[in-house]
Amino acid sequence: MPGFEIFGAEEKAQVMEVLESGVLFRYEFAAQRKGVWKVLEFERAFAAYTGAAHAQAVTSGTAALKVALAALGVGEGDEVITQGFTFVATWEAILDCGAVPVFAEVDLTLNMDPADLEKKITPRTKAIIPVHMMGAQARIEAIKAIADRHGIPVIEDTAQAAGGRLHGRHLGTFGAVGTFSFDAVKTMTTGEGGMCITSDETLWRRMSEYQDHGHDHLPNPGGRGGESRSFVGFNFRMMEIQGAIGLAQLAKLDGIVAAQQKNKAFFREAVSVLPGVQFREILDEAGDSATFLTFFLPDAARTTAVNRVLREAGAGAVRWSENGWHYYPNWEHLLEGKTYCHGGWPFSVGGKRRVVYDPQALPASAAIMERALTYQVPILLPDEQKTKIAAALKKAAAV
């Protein structure tokens, strides 16, 4: 990861077809575009690849979450449960809909703990968003069973797990909607971009129309359709150049995952020299997209000492407990309710605070995260880099 490591002739050829047509907009201009409909083709190819009935391309993974939430009717006064270890986009999209994010603990999968999820459900819970964080499977079957018992739809945040599977089934196909990101650092990339997948035609229609200002798409999703609108929408349209790159990258995705799995095996073997090391729980190794290798050390002090040596050797690991983009206690703008909006929206309405978050609210997650270190797994891993990393880990093992 990410897919830009292997940009090549395939991406260039796809993009040139768009430039030669002269049409960058994904809808209309049928006479000028010479049969080139790259976004529509990408949607159909992605749906076929994942086994979903429908796919809707959008401008980002964040937009995909917003479009999915809107299609499910989530809004002001609702609660949406997600996890306290995720990228900020997950809860930003919830807040942007007017709903309130509720955070569940993670377990040793580093994904949502189903037991804590059930404790967080209230009559106001209108959706659940588990995250297949760092490319590995959440306990989606257990989460879906809990959600079904309560009649709550599940949106799978699969932003970091394109190409991942659980027991042969693609991640993103278990819930009502699966959302994906194709930004610059994702396993497959279109620079920016995202996708929603679903097997519910009604939800797909809503997503298709919402991301295009609510335009009626009933006659022809490729050609946009009529000029009536049944609800207010917004503009989250993917453009043709992104769709073109997506087609080329999608064709490489299984090869990308295979390369990452091979390189992840190297990292696991190299990390195994550390005394007391424990690895992240992966529910299905064969279906792991293998974008990251995460391991735990016995305590916070040991984790700090080991990573100090690794950093000094130029092979430092990511320590998520120090990260401000992905870890609940470090989201100061969420915890402090920071916003430019007059009146304090979305944290306050009419001067009254809607929600206050406690930085100590997820103690089980904190106990896990302070012991965790992560290596991002590249698609290309030169031998000299392997040698450097292995040497650094052997040095750290002696600390």
The answer for residues whose C-beta is within 8 angstroms of residue 21's C-beta and 6 or more apart is 32, 33, 34, 36, 240
CA distance 394 to 399: 9
Q: Is 186 a catalytic residue?
A: yes
- Residue 359 CB: number of other CB atoms within 10 A? 14
- Residue 312 CB: number of other CB atoms within 10 A? 12
| Beta-strand pair 155-157/177-181 | parallel
Q: Which of 66, 126, 144, 186 is catalytic?
A: 186
> Mutual orientation of helices 61-71 and 89-96 as an angle, nearest 10°?
40
Amino acid identity of 369? M
The H or E element containing residue 366 is: helix 363-369
User: What SS3 state is found at 387?
Assistant: helix
Nearest CA to 146 out of 171, 121, 124 is that of 121
């396993």: which residue's tokens?
187
**Which residues are paired to 100 by β-bridges?**
79
Half-sphere exposure of 209 (CA within 13 A, CB side): 22
Query: CB–CB of 132/164 below 8 Å?
Result: yes
CA distance 72 to 49: 24
Strands of 212-331 (E only): list them: 278-279, 292-296
Output the six-digit token pair for 178.
Answer: 């699966």
Query: CB–CB of 51/118 below 8 Å?
Result: no
Active site residues per annotation: 186
